[in-house]
Amino acid sequence: MTEAPRAPAGLAAWLLAASAGLLALGVAVGSMGWEPLLDETGAGLTILWEIRLPRTLGAWTAGALLGLAGAAAQGLFRNPLADPYLLGSATGAALGVALLLVLLGAAPAAGTAWVTSLGLTGAAFAGAMAAVVLTLALARGVQHTLRLLLAGVIVGMVFGALASLVIFLAPELLRSMQSFLLGTTGFLGWAGAGVLAGVLAACAGVAVASSRALDALALGETTAASLGVPLARVRLALVGVIALATGAAVAHVGLVAFIGLMAPHLVRALVKPTHAWLLPLSALAGGVLLLGADVLARWLLAPRELPVGVVTAVLGGAYLLALMQRRPR
Amino acid sequence: MRERSILVLCVAVLALWLAGAAQAAVEAIDDRGVRVQVRQPPQRIVSLMPSLTETVCALGACARLVGVDDYSNWPSSVNALPHVGGLEDARVESIVALRPDLVLVPTSSRVLPRLQALGLPVLALEPRTLSDVRRVLQVLGPVLEARDPEEVWQAISREVQVAAQKLPRALRGTRVYVEVGSTPYAASEGSFIGEVLLRLGAENIVPARLGPFPKLNPEFVVRADPQVIILARGDAPGLRARPGWQGIEALRSGRVCALDEAQVDMLMRAGPRLGEAAHLLVECLQGRLAAGTSGR
C-alpha cells in the first residue's frame, strides 16, 4: 500500500478492476477447483452460464448490499460499529426466512425460482424491518449511541433466539436453516441474482441521494437540522434501505458476517471520502470481499465447499484485529 | 474331622469362586476403546441412538429396553417406551430415573461424560460403516446374551445379496446421487449407504475421499450428471429450481427417487435394517418409487 492518500476515483477504479478479476476467477473456479472450462461437449457452457455466472454475480451483489447497508448504518447512526448485525436487522431477516420456511415446508420451492426469491426477500425484509424498528423503539431514537447499540444487541439476541426456537419446533428445518445460518451461495441462480441486482439499484439510488444529508448529520443532529436536512424523512428512508439491503442479502446468501462492518472501514482506511463516495465505494468493497470469500470457499476444499460465512468471519475477524493492533500507534 | 472341614472349606471356596465368576461382569470394549464391565445380562437398557435401538431389538432383547431417544421409532414397540430426549439434548434426569443397568450412547453424545460421572454403565457405540454394523452386533451380542450376533449379521448380508441379484444387469453401473441434506450434503462411497450401493453394483457419483457425508458444491452434481437421484420427499420439488439442475439426466428422465419419512429412517440408519434398505435402493434404481412422487 502506498502512503499517499488515494483519490476516491482511483480507489473506485481499483475496486472495479478487482471485481472484474474476481468475476473472471469466480467463473473459472468450479467444483474441481481451478478449471477455466470450456469443454468440447458444450455442457461446460451450460455450467458456466447457468451456475457459475449467476452465482458469482449474485455473491458480488449480496456483498455490495451488505457493504452499502453497513456504510448507511454507520453514517446514519454516526457510529463506526453500526452494521446490519449490531442493529439486529440480520437476525431479524433470518427469523423472517425461518418463519416463511415453516409456512411453506422445508423446501422453499413451491413456485418458480423468481417467486421463491422474491418471497424470501420479502420475508427477510419484513423481519429486518421489525428488528430495526424494535431496536429504535427500545433505544428511544438514535440520539444515544450506546443505548442504540445495546438495544441492537438485545434485539439481535432475542430474534436469534426466536429463530432457534422456530428451528427447535420444526426440526426438519434444521439442515436448511443451518446452511442458512452459516451462509451459502451455492444455489444462487439467475432469479436470485436478478432480484439482488434490482434491490441493489434501488437501495444505492436512495442511499446516494441521501448522502448530503449524511454528510450534514456527521456534524451533529442540531447542525444538520439547521442546515435544512429533513431528518425524519432521511432517517426513514435510510432505515428502509438498511432493512431492505440486509433482508435481500440474508434471504439469498444467509447470515454472512463482517462484510457490512468491514467494507466501510476498508474504504475509510484508504481514502477519506464524503458519503457520496463512501456509499458506492463501500458497496464495491463489500462485493469484492464477499465474492473473494466465496471463491475461496469454493476453491479450498473443492469439490467440497466451505460455508462462506465461516470464511468471511475468519477474514473479517483477522482484519479487525489487525486494525485494533495498529490503532494506538 | 479336621480333614472334612478343610474339604468343606475348599468346596465352599470353590462354590463362592464359581458363583463370583458367574456374577462377574462381561467385559466389552466400546468405540472409545474403554473396557466396560456389564453385570449380565442387563435387564433395563436405555438406548440413545435409533440404530442402536434397532440393533438391540434385532438381537432379540427388545423387551429389555426401558427407554429410548426421541428419534427411535422402530420396531413400533419402542414407541410405547419413555422417550428421553434427542441426540444432543438427552435428559440426564429422565435416564437416571429409569434406573438402567446399561445405557447405549453414540460416541459423539454430549451426555456421555455426565452419565458416566453418575455411575451408570455406559457403552459408547457409533456405527458409521457396514463393518461397524457387524462390530456393534459383535460387541452387543455377548453383553445382551441374546441371539447370535453372527446370525443377525449373516441375515443382513444375505438380504443385501438378494437385493443385488434382483437388480437387472442393465442397471449395474447406474450413476447415483444420494442426497442427505438439501445444502447439499451427499452420501459418498465411503458412507454405509454408499457401501450398500457399491454392493448392489451401482456407481456413486461422490467418491469416498471426500468423507462419508460431504457438503458439495452443487455444480459437482451437475457435472457428474447422475442417472438416479435419491433424496427425502420434502426436498424433491425444489430440485428443478436449482440453477442448472434441470439438465441432469435423472431429472430429464424423471428418475428421482423421493423417499418418505419411514423410508429415509430405514436408509439413514446404520443398523440391522440395511438389508431392507438395499431392497429399497434397488426399487429406486429400477424407478419403481419415482412414479409415486409425481403426484405430489
- Asked if B215 is an interface residue toward chain A (Cβ–Cβ < 8 A), one would say yes
The mean pLDDT of A283-298, rounded to a whole number, is 94
pLDDT > 70 in chain A, percent: 90
pLDDT at B293: 42
pLDDT at B275: 94
Which position has the higher pLDDT, A291 or A84? Answer: A291
Q: How far apart are CA A236 and CA A1, in angstroms?
A: 38
pLDDT at B15: 59
Which position has the higher pLDDT, A201 or B290? Answer: A201
The mean pLDDT of A38-45, rounded to a whole number, is 63
Mean pLDDT of chain A: 85
ipTM (interface pTM)? 0.73
pLDDT > 90 in chain A, percent: 36
pLDDT at A228: 85
Angle among Cα A46, A52, A55 to the nearest 5 degrees reads 130
The mean pLDDT of B148-153, rounded to a whole number, is 94
Q: What sign does the dihedral A258-A264-A266-A268 (CA atoms) show? A: negative
- Asked if A145 is an interface residue toward chain B (Cβ–Cβ < 8 A), one would say no
Cβ-defined contact of A47 to B218 (cutoff 8 Å): no
pLDDT at B199: 94
| Residue of A305, A306, A310, A311 to mutate for B, most B C-beta atoms under 10 A | A305
DSSP assigned state of A311:
H
Cell of A304: 467440497
pLDDT digits (tens, 9 = 90+) for B58-75: 999 999 999 999 999 989
- Asked if B295 is an interface residue toward chain A (Cβ–Cβ < 8 A), one would say no
Query: Please, what is the angle between helix A190-209 and helix A53-76, to 10°?
Result: 30
- Neighboring chain A residues of B234 at a CB cutoff of 8 Å: 105-107, 172
Q: How far apart are CA B46 and CA B84, in angstroms?
A: 9
Cβ-defined contact of B234 to A107 (cutoff 8 Å): yes
pLDDT at A150: 87
Q: Is the pLDDT of residue A59 over 80?
A: yes
pLDDT at A174: 72
Q: In this structure, are strands B256-259 and B185-186 parallel, antiparallel, or unpaired? A: unpaired
Q: Mapped to the 3 state alphabet, what secondary structure does chain B carry?
A: CHHHHHHHHHHHHHHHHHHHHHHCCEEEECCCCCEEEECCCCCCEEECCHHHHHHHHHCCCHHHEEEECCCCCCCHHHHHCCECCCCCCCCHHHHHHCCCCEEEECCCCCCHHHHHHCCCCEEECCCCCHHHHHHHHHHHHHHHCCCCHHHHHHHHHHHHHHHHHHCCHHHCCCEEEEEEECCCEECCCCCHHHHHHHHHCCEECCCHHHCCCCEECHHHHHHHCCCEEEEEHHHHHHHHHCCCHHHCHHHHCCCEEEECHHHHHHHHCCCCCHHHHHHHHHHHHCCCCCHHHHCC
Tell me which chain B residue has its CA closest to the CA of residue A308: B217
The most confident of the ranges A78-82, A173-177, A298-302, B36-40 is A298-302
pLDDT digits (tens, 9 = 90+) for A249-274: 998 998 887 899 899 999 998 998 89
Distance from CA of B238 to the nearest CA of A (A): 5
The mean pLDDT of B80-103, rounded to a whole number, is 89
Distance from CA of B171 to the nearest CA of A (A): 24
pLDDT digits (tens, 9 = 90+) for A18-27: 999 999 998 8
Interface list for A 182-241 with B (CB within 8 A): 184, 186-190
- Neighboring chain B residues of A305 at a CB cutoff of 8 Å: 215-217
CB B178 within 8 A of CB B197: yes
- Asked if B182 is an interface residue toward chain A (Cβ–Cβ < 8 A), one would say yes
CB A121 within 8 A of CB A197: no
Q: Which residues contact B89 (CB under 8 A, 6 or more apart)?
A: none
Cβ-defined contact of B210 to A304 (cutoff 8 Å): yes
- Asked if A178 is an interface residue toward chain B (Cβ–Cβ < 8 A), one would say yes
pLDDT at B174: 94
pLDDT at B1: 53
Q: What is the band of A142 on the pLDDT scale with cuts at 50, 70, 90?
A: low
The most confident of the ranges A202-206, B92-96, B179-183 is A202-206
**Placement of cell 445380562 in the chain:** B41
Q: What is the band of A177 on the pLDDT scale with cuts at 50, 70, 90?
A: confident
Nearest Cα to Cα of residue B219 among A115, A193, A53: A53
Q: How far apart are CA A38 and CA A318, in angstroms?
A: 37
- Asked if A102 is an interface residue toward chain B (Cβ–Cβ < 8 A), one would say no
pLDDT digits (tens, 9 = 90+) for B171-230: 999 999 999 988 788 999 999 999 999 999 999 999 999 999 998 888 899 989 999 999
- Asked if B235 is an interface residue toward chain A (Cβ–Cβ < 8 A), one would say yes
Q: How many contacts, defined by CB atoms under 8 Å, are there between A and B?
A: 96
